[in-house]
Amino acid sequence: MGDVAVGARSGHDGEEHRGHPVAANVPVPNGAMTSENDAAGDDTPQDGQKPGTDGVGAGRTAGQQKKPRSFWKELPILVVIALVLALLIKTFLVQAFSIPSASMQNTLQVGDRVLVDKLTPWFGSQPERGEVVVFHDPDDWLAGEPAPTPNPVQQVLSWIGLMPSANEKDLIKRVIGVGGDTVQCKGSGPLLVNGKALNEPYVYPGNTPCTDDEIGGQFKVTVPKGYIWVMGDHRQNSRDSRYNQSDKHHGMVPVKDVVGRAIVKAWPINRWGTLPIPDTFDQPGIGQQTSASAALTVAPEGVAVAAALPVVVWRRRRTDRLQSKAEQKTTAGSR
């Protein structure tokens, strides 16, 4: 692209050939064929023209001047583009988080990496019952927990979103109640939401849905608008909303502090899988998910395809452009 197509000259323009007039109506021997361009194969320069100065030579020179950049020259540009895209994706679309504790076993194991959807909250999506969400520490829930010290490589990876930042005090739990819900634990369970008993197969084996203690395991709360009530799947090993009822939010998590919903277990590979909402939260009477929010929950997959499409188109066009240049050079060289 960008090369000028120059028509080849036929070499037959009706002029006399070095003092010899071109005869008209010259008989053609039997079996011989002729055409208007029989003289085109004559490479003898005409009109004092020097070899290599015709349009074909100019086109060939132009093609040689537009050689594609080498891979090593393009590599720094590609790295910069990749870093910028990673930063944008981390900020607005998806971010990776590492699981530091056992509070969400067996749904999530220590060391698992999850991908968190940060896009749908930009469109007004609210946390739903049953979702696994990442949120900022509402009021010193992590007090006394040691903060990891990342090495320089981990700091770079966290900056571009490939690893979570050690400076961000984030937690991951399951949403049990949303604004307006009444959540209750009596004895060892089951856990009640708006009077409906939850069937919770995701609760850690050997645990009871409710903890029979007097320091937070027994409760009945109504979740205010703009807040959520969260609990870990490892019920007997999770310092969640139940055990933070003395903080300024009474154990609730402000929706504004929610980073996003964990949608995929991405690492290690043998534990890859999605994190869907359990069916028990769809039972009649507990509250129905609106069609608008249901549509938003599938947005990350659509955005991933939309984000990948321009890259695929760019690569295809670039390949076609390089092939076109190669064909033009081959054609010019055969003239």
Q: Which of 73-87, 135-149, 262-276, 299-313 shows the lowest per-residue confidence on average (mean pLDDT)?
A: 299-313
Angstrom distance (rounded) from CA 58 to CA 335: 13
Q: In Å, how far are 87, 127, 135, 281 from 180, measured between CA atoms?
A: 36, 13, 20, 15
Over the stretch 256-269, which tens digit does the pLDDT of each residue have?
999 999 999 988 99
For 132-154, the pLDDT digits (tens) are: 999 999 998 987 776 666 667 66
What band does 75 get if pLDDT is binned at 50, 70 and 90?
A: confident
- Paired strand residues for 221: 183
- Check residue 304 and give its pLDDT: 41
Q: pTM value?
A: 0.60
Output phi, psi for 99, to 5 deg: -90, 115
CA distance 94 to 113: 12
How far, in whole angstroms, is CA 226 from its chain's centroid?
A: 29
For residue 124, the model assigns a pLDDT of 73
CA distances in angstroms from 255 to 60, 128, 176, 233, 273, listed in the order given: 65, 11, 13, 20, 26
Neighbours of 246 (CB within 10 A): 9
**Parallel, antiparallel or unpaired: strands 132-136 and 258-267:** antiparallel
Of 90, 103, 118, 238, which one is the catalytic site residue? Answer: 103
Q: What is the pLDDT of residue 187?
A: 93
b/e 80-103 (16+ beta carbons within 10 angstroms → b): eeeeeeeeebbeebbbbbbbbbbb
Active site residue 67: no
Report residue 69 as tokens: 């950049």
Contacts of 46 (CB under 8 A, 6+ apart): 11, 15
> Is 101 noted as a catalytic residue in this protein?
no
Residue of 173, 238, 241, 265 with catalytic role: 173
In the block, residue with structure tokens 């036929």: 10
Mean pLDDT of 220-231: 97
Q: How far apart are CA 301 and CA 224, in angstroms?
A: 31
Cα(325)–Cα(331) distance, integer angstroms: 10
Give Rg (Cα) of the chain: 36
